[in-house]
Amino acid sequence: MLFLRFFPRILRLATRIVAKKRSAPAVLALAQMERTPRPAARIIVLLALAIAASCFLLTLIASKEQRNIDTATFSTQAADFSGSLPASDASKTFSQLQTYYSGLPGVRSATLGYQDVIQLSPDQGASGQGSLTIDGVDSGTYAHTAIWPASYSSQPLSDLAAQLAAQRPDGIAHNVVYALVDLATWQRLHLTQGAQFTLPADSSRTSHVNFIALAQINYIPGVYDTPTEAWSGMGLIVDYRNYSAVKAQATGAPASSLAPNYIWLRTNDDAASLAQLRSVLPNLNDRNQVLATVQNDPNHLGIVGVLYIGVATALVLALIGTLILSWLNASNRLTNFAVARALGMAPRQIAGVLLWEQGFVYALSLLLGLGLGILLTVFVAPIVGTLPAGEGLDIGFNVPAIQVVIPYTQLLLVLGVLALTCMMALLRMARIVSRPSLSQTLRLNED
């Protein structure tokens, strides 16, 4: 509506600019549009809405697909397979477990570790009950195993894992655990880099473990906020050997009591490898299985289907509307073009008039459509985080962060279809204008 109000002024300004160049086709084209702006405005609004709707809906579809991938990855703790080790592995050593799981067909990388959940209470500064998850990982293999998007931390995971490995000897020597601290914990404990903090070592709270904040990260994969706990969504990533040595010393427990209890696997994505691993590891969280379940969920399919129908509707309306409006515009101006030809205007100049008219219309349509599409994408696309994710997939409060994905290939394809439609409309107008003879067009009642 704002564009329609200013459109006559835009035409007036464009006419003044081209008049200085003394180009007859340009002046005639823009002057005619200034006299009767409604036909051009109809095509501009139609194409702009089609472009804006297509850009927004395709972006929403791509963002929804990426959201499903991100949430499936986050729910399986940034690994293709993850979960607690079976009880039958309790008697095996770290080396034996590493050799066994790394040697499974289809496994590209395996990380053993220890997952611990510490219950928090108001004496830790909380206003209510809560919990904190500690992932003790093998820092030598974790960077090769975990699927770590850039939104999880400002530093690459390889650098963070290398820092944990480098600080391991110092941590064991000084009875302190170096930790990667997630944003929720960092803020609630008011930490700074290098700050020391203390957490209970067990549920009895008779012993404590000292930690040093090595670096801040945004999320711990698999750790969600919950509305029922005042302290939630909190977690640490530590080096397994560093944590097990310090905790064993704090609790007086033998080192064997802190044997690995959790595993993360990075695997091949082919169907044969996944099927074999699922038969061997039936109790582990399966990222590909979770993603397939979500992608085939009726909620997801229904939402994506409606969005694709919206894109198709916009394109069909733009195609039909542009061709019809162009035909009506050319048919209603046959006499005007015939008079121009009778006054000595060459067919090439007539084509130039059409090219100036349609070029101006299509340029404004593209700018207006892209501008509106960008506004919709920026302010409305994040709603993808509130759309249903499917059965069996737990999503916290915008965790992980919502990513707006722009499908450039699909957008270029849509713009190509619209450009082809506009070219067809221009050729149709040129054919209508040039087809009838001057004598037939200018005759009145056959006199």
User: Looking at residues 26-32, what average pLDDT do you find?
Assistant: 77
At 122, is the pLDDT very low, low, confident or very high (cuts 50, 70, 90)? low
Q: What is the SS3 string spanning 325-338?
A: HHHHHHHHCHHHHH
Please report the DSSP string for 17-32 in residue order. HHHTTT-HHHHHHHHH
Token readout for 333 is: 């101006």
In sequence order, the 6+-apart residues with CB closer than 8 A to the CB of 136 are 113, 114, 115, 116, 238, 239, 240, 242, 243, 244
Other C-beta atoms lying within 10 Å of the C-beta of residue 340: 19
Q: What percent of the chain is predicted at pLDDT more than 90?
A: 29
At 108, is the pLDDT very low, low, confident or very high (cuts 50, 70, 90)? very high
What predicted TM-score, i.e. pTM, was given to this entire model?
Answer: 0.77
Q: Distance (Å, rounded) from C-alpha 338 to C-alpha 174?
A: 95
pLDDT the model gives residue 126: 46
Domain extents for the chain?
2-71+297-442, 82-268
Q: Distance (Å, rounded) from C-alpha 176 to C-alpha 192?
A: 16
pLDDT in tens, 305-348: 888 898 888 888 888 887 787 777 777 776 777 777 677 676 67
Task: Fill in the DSSP letter of residue 36.
Answer: S
pLDDT the model gives residue 424: 80
pLDDT in tens, 406-446: 899 988 998 888 888 888 877 777 776 666 555 555 565 55
242 has a pLDDT exceeding 90: yes
Beta strands 196-200; 285-286: pairing state: unpaired
pLDDT in tens, 79-104: 999 999 998 888 888 999 999 999 99
Quick check: helix, strand or coil at residue 364?
helix
